[in-house]
Amino acid sequence: MPENLLIEGPKDGVRVFTLNRPEALNALNTELLGNLSAALDEAEADAETRAVVITGSQKAFAAGADINEMAARDLVGILEDPRTTHWARISRFNKPIIAAVNGFALGGGCELAMHADIMIAGTTARFGQPEINLGIMPGAGGTQRLVRAVGERLAMQMVLTGEPIDAKRALEAGLISEICQPELTLERAVQIARTIAGKAPIAVRLARESVRKANDLNLADGLRFERHAFTVLAGTADRQEGLDAFREKRKPHFTGR
Ligand code: DAK
Ligand 1, residues 4, 21, 25: which to mutate, most atoms within 8 A of Cβ? 25
Q: What is the pLDDT of residue 5?
A: 98
Residues 124 and 242 reside in one and the same domain: no
Which tens digit of pLDDT belongs to each residue from 91-144? 999 999 999 999 999 999 999 999 999 999 999 999 999 999 999 999 999 999
pLDDT in tens, the chain (257 residues): 789 999 999 999 999 999 999 999 999 999 999 999 999 999 999 999 999 999 999 999 999 999 999 998 888 888 888 899 999 999 999 999 999 999 999 999 999 999 999 999 999 999 999 999 999 999 999 999 999 999 999 999 999 999 999 999 999 999 999 999 999 999 999 999 999 999 999 999 999 999 999 999 999 999 999 999 999 999 999 999 999 999 999 999 999 99
Residues 209 and 185 reside in one and the same domain: no
Measured by CA distance, the residue closest to atom 10 of ligand 1 is 24
249 SS3 class: coil
Measured by CA distance, the residue closest to atom 47 of ligand 1 is 64
Residues 121 and 67 reside in one and the same domain: yes
Residues marked active site are found at 65, 108, 111, 131
Q: What is the pLDDT of residue 224?
A: 98
Q: Which residues line ligand 1 (CB under 6 A)?
A: 24-25, 27, 63-68, 81, 83-84, 87, 104, 106-108, 130-131, 134, 139-140
Residues 254, 257: Cα–Cα separation, whole Å: 8
Domains contained in the chain, number: 2
- Residue 254 belongs to some domain of the structure: no
What domain range includes position 242? 201-248
Of all atoms in ligand 1, which is nearest to the CA of residue 107?
61
Residues recorded for the chain: 257
Ligand 1 centroid to Cα of residue 57, in Å, is 14
Which tens digit of pLDDT belongs to each residue from 121-132? 999 999 999 999
- Residue 256 belongs to some domain of the structure: no
Ligand 1 centroid to Cα of residue 254, in Å, is 44
Measured by CA distance, the residue closest to atom 59 of ligand 1 is 65
Q: What is the pLDDT of residue 122?
A: 98
Of all atoms in ligand 1, which is nearest to the CA of residue 109?
61
Residues 182, 88: Cα–Cα separation, whole Å: 30
Measured by CA distance, the residue closest to atom 13 of ligand 1 is 24
Output the domain CATH number for residue 214: 1.10.12
Count CB neighbours of 54 within 10 A.
Answer: 27
- Residue 253 belongs to some domain of the structure: no
Alpha helices in the chain (DSSP H): 30-45, 67-71, 75-79, 83-91, 108-114, 145-150, 152-161, 167-173, 185-197, 201-213, 219-233, 237-247
- Residue 257 belongs to some domain of the structure: no
Ligand 1 centroid to Cα of residue 8, in Å, is 26
Whether 38 contacts 81, CB under 8 Å: no
Of all atoms in ligand 1, which is nearest to the CA of residue 83?
56
- Residue 163 half-sphere exposure toward CB, CA atoms < 13 A: 6
Percent of the chain residues topping a pLDDT of 70? 100
Residues 176 and 222 reside in one and the same domain: no
Q: What is the pLDDT of residue 29?
A: 96
Measured by CA distance, the residue closest to atom 27 of ligand 1 is 25
Residues 109 and 216 reside in one and the same domain: no
- Residue 213 half-sphere exposure toward CB, CA atoms < 13 A: 19
What is the largest distance, in Å, between two alpha-carbon atoms of the chain? Answer: 65
Residues 187 and 208 reside in one and the same domain: no
Residues 218 and 176 reside in one and the same domain: no
Whether 147 contacts 136, CB under 8 Å: no
Of all atoms in ligand 1, which is nearest to the CA of residue 60?
34
